[in-house]
């Protein structure tokens, strides 16, 4: 458990339960991601507005700047969904973190979630979820709130 969230441009695990949890949280909302996260998706996720932060122009998805994300967040709840650099960029601005801890160690990971400072965020909810037949590992769903 080294905060790994990516390996070779993909998630380093197959966790159906976590994907369903993510869907439940983000359905109907606006998701913001970096280019690599966008390119790793199997396509548009149903019933969500997709915004991608990138330096280049894209015709396949709406793009947004850092400042525009901050402005948009004043009007509506948005979900920052990765990757590691994007998480780090917005961590100083978020009040709530939905975090899934996958109980495994990832060798040769290349993308990491930032460390969460326990003096700034406290775990408000925590649910340990044993792996199902469609998961590789046990997981813990957490909700962290800014103190």
- Total residues found in the chain within this entry: 147
Task: Produce one character per residue of 116-143: b if its CB has 16 or more CB atoms within 10 Å, e if not.
Answer: beeeebeeeeeeebeeeeebeebbebbb
Q: Which CATH number does the domain housing residue 46 bear?
A: 3.40.430.10
**What is the chain's pLDDT, residue by residue, as a tens digit (147 residues)?**
589 999 998 899 999 999 999 999 999 999 999 999 999 999 999 999 999 999 888 999 999 999 999 999 999 999 999 999 999 999 999 999 999 999 999 999 999 999 999 999 999 999 999 999 999 999 999 999 999
Which residue segment(s) compose the domain that 109 sits in? 4-146
Q: What is the pTM of this model?
A: 0.94
Question: What is the count of structural domains for the chain?
Answer: 1
Q: Are 69 and 94 in contact (CB under 8 A)?
A: no
């Amino acid at each position: 458990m080294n905060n790994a969230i990516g390996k070779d441009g993909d998630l380093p695990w197959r966790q159906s339960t976590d994907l369903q949890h993510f869907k439940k949280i983000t359905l109907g909302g606006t998701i913001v991601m970096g280019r690599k996260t966008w390119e790793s998706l199997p396509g548009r996720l149903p019933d969500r507005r997709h915004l991608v932060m990138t330096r280049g122009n894209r015709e396949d998805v709406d793009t947004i700047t850092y400042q525009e994300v901050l402005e948009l967040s004043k009007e509506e709840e948005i979900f920052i969904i990765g990757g590691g650099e994007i998480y780090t960029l917005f961590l100083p601005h978020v009040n709530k973190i939905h975090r899934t801890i996958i109980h495994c160690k990832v060798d040769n990971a290349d993308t990491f979630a930032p460390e969460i400072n326990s003096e700034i965020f406290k775990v408000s909810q925590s649910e340990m979820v044993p792996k199902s037949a469609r998961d590789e590992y046990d997981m813990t769903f957490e909700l962290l709130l800014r103190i």
